[in-house]
Structure 1
Amino acid sequence: MPALKVAVVDGQGGGIGRLIVEKLRQELGEEVTIMGLGTNAVATSVMLRAGANEGASGENVVVQCASKVDVIAGSVAIIAANSFLGELTTRMAEAIASSPAVKVLLPINRYGIEIAGALDEPLPLQVEDLVRRIRKVYDNFGRV
């Protein structure tokens, strides 16, 4: 069975992406291919050090890779144009939102986006839930 491809998208300092990559690697080991897609080189490098198989930075990378992965993970900000202090462009947000990949997003309320029903839990707990959801996708991956 081919490996599940997960793109982790983050910007600014890459801290959320780092947590996601570390937890995915702990939970799924080498059973998944993790791509660290950063809006900048710092975020990408942090995700690579955390265990991403591949990493690249910038608008074109996100736009091109969004449709080539099975799962996209990050904060809800990755589908909001001009988030991350403007680092996440309109083209990036559109490519992610339009991708056929399953999007598993953290309901972080930093960019004026309130998600009804989302629990306001500490980031590590939110990341654990995100990884559990990706595990479910992995467990059903390749089944017709």
Structure 2
Amino acid sequence: MSRVRVLVIDGQGGGLGRQLTAALAAGCPDIELTAVGTNSIAASAMLKAGAHRAATGENAVVVNCRRADIIVGPIGIVIADSLLGEITPAMAAAVCQSSAARVLIPINHCDNIVVGVPDQPIGQLVTAAVEKVKELIR
């Protein structure tokens, strides 16, 4: 049986992606963990946090979304021009059109506000996301 392919996508400084990658690497050791940053700083942070491999940029997002079983990242990865403009329309479309399950972290930044979701510390959001990934794997 092949391992579940989990893709973490993040941008800007890669802080959320780093935390997600570290928590997934520790909590789900049997997954194939790939990280894609919208920039090299984000990709490097996730690679150092335990991703098996990492890549950078629009084409890397598009290609890896096609092969992922689960995609994890901030909600902005499905919104064109979010993350201070780092998410291109092609990136958002690739995430949305992927057959993968999407575990999206409700981060209220860059004029994208998710109503009905209370503000929570990033650590709690990361824990909840990892628990959801574990549930999807089962």
Q: Do they fold alike, i.e. is TM over 0.5?
A: yes
Q: Percent identity?
A: 38
2:60 aligned residue: 61
Measured against aligned partners, the alpha-carbon deviations of 1:30-64 in whole angstroms (never above 9, x if no partner) come to: x0011110101111011000000010001011011
Rounded to whole Å, the distance in 1 between the matches of 2:115 and 2:85 is 25
State the SS of the aligned residue for 1:129. helix
Task: Give structure 1 stretches of 5+ with no counterpart.
Answer: 140-144
> Partner of 1:27 in structure 2?
27
**What is the CA–CA distance in structure 1 between the aligned matches of 2:131 and 2:58, rounded to whole Å?**
28
Q: CA deviation at 1:115?
A: 2.4
CA distance in 2, matches of 1:87, 1:112: 14
Give the distance between the partners of 2:57 and 2:43, measured in 1 at CA.
9
Residues 12, 38 of structure 2: 8 Å contact kept: yes
Give unmatched runs, 5+ long, in structure 2.
none
The answer to whether the aligner puts 1:16 opposite 2:16 as a matched pair is yes
- Displaced runs of 4 or more, over 3 A: none
CA contact (8 A) 2:84 2:110 kept: no
Matching residue of 1:142: none
Equivalent residue number for residue 75 of structure 1: 74
| Structure 2 partner of 1:41 | 40
The one-letter code of the counterpart of 2:14 is G
* Structure 1 position 68, deviation (Å): 0.7
RMSD of equivalent CA atoms: 0.9
Scaled by the length of structure 2, what TM-score is found?
A: 0.96
Q: Give the match's secondary structure for 1:104.
A: strand
Q: Which residue in 2 is equivalent to 1:134?
A: 133
Residue 118 (structure 1) shift:
1.9
